[in-house]
């Protein structure tokens, strides 16, 4: 076994680098009704839509967006069924942009949720952005616009200048839909997030490259696993925050 395993510390493995999604994901990653988290006519259904634009303000027709959010009660859904949609709401969806850079989802609006510090946070949708030309995925958030008090108390939003903050809050359109444009570069550039993953990532000080390869190349079988990391195939809904110990 490697030093990383026997030292008594949790080994820290260097991540596999990301690479661009490239131009040809369109026949592989999008799938039927990937952007329809609920069926038409579902009570509470909302259309979440917008465009992805480049640094010249032109549409990005080969981007892919994924959304992941809580249900209307603010609870994360722990159910399968995101790919073969059968009416199960899973809180996850995927949409490719069209020739005008446009995307849309039909989903349920998430409710506000308790944060890891126990405080209530404004309702939001977590987003991963992929595109030809992006060397790695980007993370951002779509905050729902209606609860101004909750938005004002949010630590991320509160730390941003007004014009930067505005890039993270969806607009409520007259038809009730939510509009959220993503500007990859330049004026009005969307705030993209480092959620602790680092970009480009920083190496952990306690793992040498040899350790990493020693562990990754087949020695990790004996490492302890965390039962909280198990996706729950039973369909049970859990609202707890997983241990980060």
Partner 1 sequence: MSIHDPQAPPEVRLDAETESQTDLSTEIRASHRAYRDRRDTSGPEESVVVEETGPVRDFAPYRSSLLRHPTKDLRHADPETIELLSPVFGERDIGTLESDLTVQHGGEPIGERIVVAGRVLDGAGRPVRRQLVEIWQANAGGRYIHKRDQHPAPIDPNFTGVGRTLTDDDGWYRFTTIKPGPYPWKNHQNAWRPAHIHFSLFGTDFTQRTVTQMYFPGDPLFALDPIYQSVRDPRARDRLIAVYDHALTSHEWSTGYRWDIVLSGADRTWTEPEDDDE
CB of 67 to partner 1, least distance (A): 10
Neighbours of 62 (CB within 10 A): 20
- Distance in angstroms (rounded) separating the CA atoms of residues 85 and 9: 42
CB of 43 to partner 1, least distance (A): 22
**CB contact at 8 A, 150 and 122:** yes
HEC per residue, 63-91: EEEEEECCCCCCCCCCCCCCCCCCCCCCC
Q: Which residues pair with 72 in a beta bridge?
A: none
If we measure between CA atoms, which residue out of 57, 35, 37 comes closest to residue 110? 37
Work out the burial of residue 112: count CB atoms within 10 Å of its CB; fewer than 13 is exposed, 13-18 middle, 19 or more buried. Answer: middle
Residues with Cβ within 8 Å of 72's Cβ and at least 6 positions away in sequence, in order, are 44, 108, 109, 110, 111
Element (H, E) at 239: none
CB of 173 to partner 1, least distance (A): 24
User: Is 168 in a helix, a strand, or coil?
Assistant: helix
CB of 95 to partner 1, least distance (A): 14
CB of 28 to partner 1, least distance (A): 3
Return the DSSP state at 36: B
CB of 227 to partner 1, least distance (A): 10
Query: Peptide bond before 200: cis, by omega within 30 degrees of 0?
Result: yes
Could you tell me the two tokens for 149? 């008090």
């Amino acid at each position: 076994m490697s030093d990383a395993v026997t030292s008594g510390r949790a080994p820290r493995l260097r991540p596999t680098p990301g690479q661009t999604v490239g131009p040809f994901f369109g026949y592989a990653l999008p799938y039927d009704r990937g952007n329809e988290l609920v069926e038409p006519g579902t009570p509470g259904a909302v259309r979440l839509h917008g465009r992805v634009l480049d640094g010249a303000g032109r549409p990005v027709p080969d981007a892919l967006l994924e959304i992941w959010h809580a249900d209307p009660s603010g609870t994360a859904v722990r159910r399968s069924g995101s790919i073969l949609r059968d009416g199960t709401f899973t809180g996850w969806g995927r949409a490719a942009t069209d020739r005008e850079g446009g995307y849309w989802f039909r989903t349920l609006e998430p409710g506000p949720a308790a944060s890891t510090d126990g405080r209530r946070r404004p309702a939001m949708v977590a987003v991963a952005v992929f595109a030809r030309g992006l060397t790695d995925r980007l993370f951002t958030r779509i905050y729902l616009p209606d609860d101004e008090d909750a938005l004002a108390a949010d630590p991320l939003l509160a730390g941003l200048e007004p014009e930067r903050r505005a890039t993270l809050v969806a607009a409520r359109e007259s038809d009730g839909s939510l509009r959220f444009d993503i500007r990859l570069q330049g004026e009005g550039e969307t705030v993209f997030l480092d959620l602790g993953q680092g970009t480009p990532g920083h190496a952990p000080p306690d793992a040498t490259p040899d350790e990493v390869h020693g562990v990754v190349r087949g020695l990790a079988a004996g490492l302890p696993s965390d039962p909280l990391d198990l996706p729950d195939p039973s369909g049970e809904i859990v609202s707890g925050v997983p241990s980060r110990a």
